[in-house]
Amino acid sequence: MPAKTQYVGFIAMSLDGFIADTDGGIGWLDPFNEILAGAGSDGGYGDFIASVDALIIGRKTYEQVMGWGWPYQDRAGYVLTRRAGFTGDHVAAAGDIETLRNAIQSADHKRVWIMGGGQAQRVALDAKMFQSLRVFVMPTILGGGRPLFTDGAQHNLKLASCQELAGGILQIDYNIGD
């Protein structure tokens, strides 16, 4: 029997809960990335990305990422979309969450990053896919934008750890299980 796939989250948000500004931009993160780099840190991203072999990504986030060029090397992308027949570079499968879960299981991925955006993360959360979530809370208030999770059912999380990084950034690790 193959090992169970682990689904994990790794994401930054503003103190008021937004992962992107009102236009979907993430440029507001640049000063914090510079603070971390100045402290000789990448916030654990290098170790994290080395530990995953695939990503679940919402269609809009996928399209935004492809505007920069696929930064995830040979990792497969699984695009959560309602758009029938969706295809693209680095897309191993596209469709609803169950289609993606089945494709990921068939491909025998070990550790999958549920990347987002907020709607994709909500769908995966409600489908009970997450095992853990690492959230970086940036010390800024955007005042509006795209939320970490869109509206939906309540899910209780278990705090695994919390630490302060350079610049007042908080790294909060949760285990998830309903």
Per-residue tens of pLDDT for the chain, all 178 residues: 456 899 999 999 999 999 999 999 999 999 999 999 999 999 999 999 999 999 999 999 999 999 989 999 999 999 999 999 999 999 999 999 999 999 999 999 999 999 988 999 999 999 999 999 999 999 999 999 999 999 999 999 999 999 999 999 999 999 997 5
**pLDDT (0 to 100) of residue 178:** 54
**pLDDT (0 to 100) of residue 140:** 98
Burial of 69 (0-12, 13-18, 19+ CB in 10 A): exposed
**pLDDT (0 to 100) of residue 116:** 81
Cα–Cα distance for residue pair 61/159, rounded to 1 Å: 27
Q: Which two tokens stand for residue 35?
A: 């603070």
**pLDDT (0 to 100) of residue 2:** 59
Q: Where are the domains of the chain?
A: 6-176
Q: Are strands 170-176 and 157-164 parallel, antiparallel or unpaired?
A: antiparallel
Neighbours of 74 (CB within 10 A): 7
Say which CATH superfamily domain 6-176 falls into.
Answer: Dihydrofolate Reductase, subunit A (3.40.430.10)
Return the beta strands (E) in 1-108 as ranges: 6-14, 18-20, 54-58, 76-80, 91-95
